[in-house]
Amino acid sequence: MTFILRQLDAADRLSIAHNDAVIDPNARYTFDYARLSADIDVIRQGINVYLTPSRAQPRNPAELTGHYVRSEQIQP
């Protein structure tokens, strides 16, 4: 998964570089680099959530007394 994150970073850097490039005004179709970058962010967030799942918070259990010997005898 870490390798995939590195690949996404590289793809995001490329999309940023191409987004700053001059777009041909006569081009019939253009690539939406902003949408690609947004999708890469969504994928990256999903992988990060997968890699760092939320864990239950530690709880405060009741303290144990540690005294298990009775001082008085129980009558049957």
**pTM for the model:** 0.61
Structural domain of 20: 2-51
Mean pLDDT of 47-75: 70
pLDDT of residue 29: 80
Does 9 map to a domain? yes
pLDDT of residue 6: 92
Sign of the torsion formed by the C-alpha atoms of 45, 47, 52 and 55: positive
CA distance 15 to 36: 7
Does 46 map to a domain? yes
Does 58 map to a domain? no
Q: Give the count of domains, the chain.
A: 1
pLDDT of residue 34: 80
In tens, the pLDDT along 6-58 reads 999 998 888 888 777 777 778 778 778 888 888 888 888 888 888 887 776 67
